[in-house]
Amino acid sequence: MQIKWTGLKALSQQTALVFAGKMTGACLGFIMSLIVARWMGPEEFGLFSLFIVILIFGNDVLGDGLNPGVVRFYAMNRRTDPARATAVLTNALALRILLGIPIVLLGVAVGVHFAERASTSHAYVSPVMLGMVGSFGAALWSFNLSVWQAREEFGTYGLMVGLVNFLRVIGVPILLWTGSLSLGPVMG
């Protein structure tokens, strides 16, 4: 078996860009979580954690299954049939939106019902609602990431993954400074 070094070098460079972006994003996300955990009290951090869990769950339901198909079919048609490649992106985005809105509405209704029944406090309602709505935004963002991946724009992909978490880390001190890093105003 003969290894083609030029192909291996290109693959290594692209993989390194994506890996660097993912690791930077993970490290910045970890730092943000430490800052938020330190600043919030146990109750508010618990509600924040509920929001994050709902956000991740909703994003898994709304988005992760569609992304590999977008990457595969867009990349497969990108050079040979650009019109078809564009149609793949258009249809995937339309599908994400047309399925996403009803799923978010259903998730909010079921989540609010469950949150109200699970506790005498209404404090759980807002994190559930915000998590479901946020998951729709996260699903649209992951769609953008899959498009950059399909277009083989790995530098942009890696940069954007890191940028999102960098903006979170920058946003936390701003929220601390303005006194907005609290779920109290949201909870009522």
Q: pLDDT tens digits, the chain, 188 residues: what are they?
A: 565 666 666 667 767 777 777 787 778 778 777 877 777 778 888 888 888 888 888 888 887 778 888 888 888 888 899 899 899 889 989 988 998 899 889 888 888 888 778 777 677 778 888 888 888 888 888 888 888 888 887 778 777 877 777 777 777 677 667 766 555 554 44
Query: Any idea what DSSP says for residue 26?
Result: H
* 108 occurs within a structural domain: yes
* 186 occurs within a structural domain: no
Q: Can you give the pLDDT at residue 188? A: 45
* 6 occurs within a structural domain: no
Number of domains, the chain: 1
Determine if the pTM surpasses 0.75.
Answer: no
* 64 occurs within a structural domain: yes
* 14 occurs within a structural domain: no
Q: How many CB atoms lie within 10 A of CB 173?
A: 11
Q: How far apart are CA 174 and CA 182, in angstroms?
A: 12
- State both tokens at 133: 């709505």
What is the rounded end-to-end Cα distance, in angstroms, of the chain?
66
Angle of helix 67-77 relative to helix 125-150, nearest 10 degrees?
Answer: 20
Residue 60, domain extent = 42-169
